[in-house]
Chain A
Amino acid sequence: MAFLDDDDEWAPTRLQTALVAHRHTGCDVVILGLDQAPFDASEDSPARRIPPAMLATREMLGHMGTTTVRRTACMNFNASYRASQDLDWTLRMRQAGTSYAGSAAVEWSWGRHEGPRHKNDQTARIAASYRLLDEHSDWYAAHPAALAYRHYRLGVMHLQQGERRQALNCLMKSVMARPRVEQARLTSRILRQAISGR
């Protein structure tokens, strides 16, 4: 199974690269365009099994347009999600023990446009993030880096909506889950603005 959004495009060898990767690794899921070690873009290997350490720190490894899945391992999407359905799907696939491989090859381009979207506006994305944290609470509890990132993303989205109090709450949770400079810096800035009344 391969997924392509109607506003995205593939390079001509996108499926060929995935096919080689599936056969080379024997994995159920292949994700292209991984930019982290051990997926150095300079290496010749078509793909490698994704190490558990990387699976543990990142909730979403790649856009669905870069993902291919063996039919026998492919779960349905949860149709009640109006945003972040790909993340819910990924977390369920991961919790089912699906094997993952990745490659540095980038053979997909993301469409940037102002046309209509699939009802996934910011409000829907925020609601979906809270729902993910609730429905996958055990997984997030066991993966503090991913928990911190989800709270950080929520904080940023609240901030973009002008919801400073909620943003601060989420950013504080992010820092507490896993202290990182970027999150702490943003939290500090919002806190200073809140104190000064701006």
Chain B
Amino acid sequence: MAGHTPTFSVIIPTYQRQELLDRALASVQRQTVSDIEVIVVDDAGSPPATVPGDRRITLLRQDVNRGKSAAINRALELARGE
């Protein structure tokens, strides 16, 4: 997938809400547009967030809790969506 530009980058900051995150991610995986990348940024929650095994999903983890904006910015650095 190197060099591929997905139609959308979906950015999800998360903090200690695994059950809700699972539901949010499931709703993204059900999208009719499948050419997407999903970047989840765990804002140093405990326990750490986990994501389903899906090559479109990337999980990043902040070393300390920096807030939602910093989490989104970290994802924006990596995002390749159109």
- Residues of chain A at the chain B interface (Cβ within 8 Å): 1-16, 18-19, 68, 70-71, 74, 76-82, 85, 111, 113, 115-116, 118-120
Known contacts A1-B81, A2-B9, A71-B9; is A7 also within 8 Å of B24 by CB? yes
Residue among A4, A9, A13 with max Cβ neighbours from chain B (10 Å)? A4
Contact A1 B76 (CB under 8 A): yes
Known contacts A4-B24, A9-B27; is A78 also within 8 Å of B69 by CB? yes
A70's partner among B14, B16, B21, B82 (CB-CB below 8 A) is B82
- Residues of chain B at the chain A interface (Cβ within 8 Å): 7-17, 20-21, 23-24, 26-28, 30-33, 36, 43, 65-70, 72-73, 76, 79-82
> Please, which residue of chain B has its CB at the minimum distance from the CB of A72?
B82
Residues of B within 8 A of A14 (CB): 31
Grouping DSSP codes into helix (H, G, I), strand (E, B) and loop, the A interface class, with mixed when no group exceeds half, is loop
Q: What separation, in Å, do the CA atoms of A54 and B82 have in the docked complex?
A: 27
Contact A118 B13 (CB under 8 A): yes
Contact A115 B32 (CB under 8 A): no
Residues of A within 8 A of B67 (CB): 79, 82, 85, 118-119
Q: A3-B12, A79-B70 are in contact. List 12 more A-B contacts (CB 8 A).
A: A2-B8, A6-B13, A6-B15, A6-B21, A7-B17, A14-B31, A15-B7, A71-B9, A77-B73, A118-B13, A118-B68, A119-B67
